[in-house]
Structure 1
Amino acid sequence: MSPLYRLIALLLILIPNAALAASATVIGYHRFDGHRSSMSMPMAEFEAHLKYLKESANVMSMDEFAGYVERKERFPPRTVLITIDDGWSSVMDAFALLKKYDLPFTLFLPMAYMANPAARHNLTREDIERLKSWPKVTFADHSFSHSPRLQVGKHKNHETYLEFLRQDLAASRQRFFEIFGYYPKYYAYPYGHTNGSFSALLTENGYELMFTTDYRPFDGDVDPKAIPRLGGHRVTAARLKEIVEGN
């Protein structure tokens, strides 16, 4: 065997995952009711996203994604994770398309508003039961109140902030268990920001992955307690293709 072939064989042994991509794109959507919010997107554009992802990307479920993170494995090329925040009623329109394209996705839910008759623009008990009947949905935590007070700068001192965090998390976990029968493992920070105290409290309560905003590709250099997400409403399908295929 020539020295060149020996070198190639050695490299294949040392870096068996060289053909795999190191990073993944995590997308965060919110609303699908057009004009009601700057974070909403037209259904036609959302379907264009899904059509591209179905045909050209490797869309993982949250548990599959978490497995790669836990094992510290490189992601396959064009890996994408789809998430949707806030539990607005327009999620059901998105759900119809996600089922059409047979794609897994995660819902980050602010639990005070779920299956709550007073929250008329959020998911109803009937909506949640329909979602639960489809195996490719992962339900996850997005706080109880989604209050601005979950941000550290909204309190006079750190102790009052920590107490609010503890109360909100306890209420969210209790409500989540009441609706789903188990405790959540994944959390998206309301308003997209975190700090050491917030992430430490979540870790103490068994959360495995936590998500922010402020997009960059997720790879081995990114803290699993602060995984950034691409705002889906901010990009066209063509731009999404560039981002996914550029990772």
Structure 2
Amino acid sequence: MDTTKKIYFASDQHFGAPTPELSFPREQKFVAWLDQIKHDAGVLFLLGDLFDFWFEYKTVVPKGFVRVLGKLAELRDSGIPIYFFTGNHDLWMHDYFQKELNIPVYHRPQEFTFNNKVFLIGHGDGLGPGDKGYKRMKKVFTNPFSKWLFRWLHPDIGVKLAQYLSVKNKLISGDADVKFLGEDNEWLVLYSKRKLETKHYDYFVFGHRHLPMTINVGNNATYINLGDWIGYFTYGVFDGEKFDLLTYKD
């Protein structure tokens, strides 16, 4: 790893919620952050729920988010690798990012090694014990037949319906209680500890919970939750030696 470069992580921007107009200032803030980090970023990880809803029809994608997509294209074209992990709000993402932006899209956690440190990285929805209602719902929504049925809705109807349910139905959205539940009740902490039983990881990096957290899960391993870009504006950065959870202030 180039010691002059850093690895950045961000999650849960939920652009478009609660309305495009109200989320626009957050979009501007995120673009400003992307512009700031492009000077020393070696890699950028986006850990899901960049949009509050996303669906790719064969010839149509949701309107808006031009500034964010343009800035990501700029970073990628400059040679900065970007990795995207789908969240529960953009789980219907397919290959648009790959084809248009050259950004690979992952639908489950992946391992990466940087400077001899092993990372397990993902969005975090549906992992660990509990949350059985959402896990069942996710199986329905990720079923190819379900996606095929939804594609038959006209985009003006389908997108509007999905945006409404994304905000109103917490079972569908999978959003968890944003209060800290304690280590013994935080599902991603339990998931991380269980993974350590079979393999060592230095860092578990997830989003989804909307709470910035850094928790020692044993055996010199750390669980990090990135928080969000709604109320916290937090992000992670690994400089090759240590991982910091920071707050962006414009």
Q: Please give the TM-score of this superposition, normalised by the length of structure 1.
A: 0.43
More strand by proportion, 1 or 2? Answer: 2
More helix by proportion, 1 or 2? Answer: 1
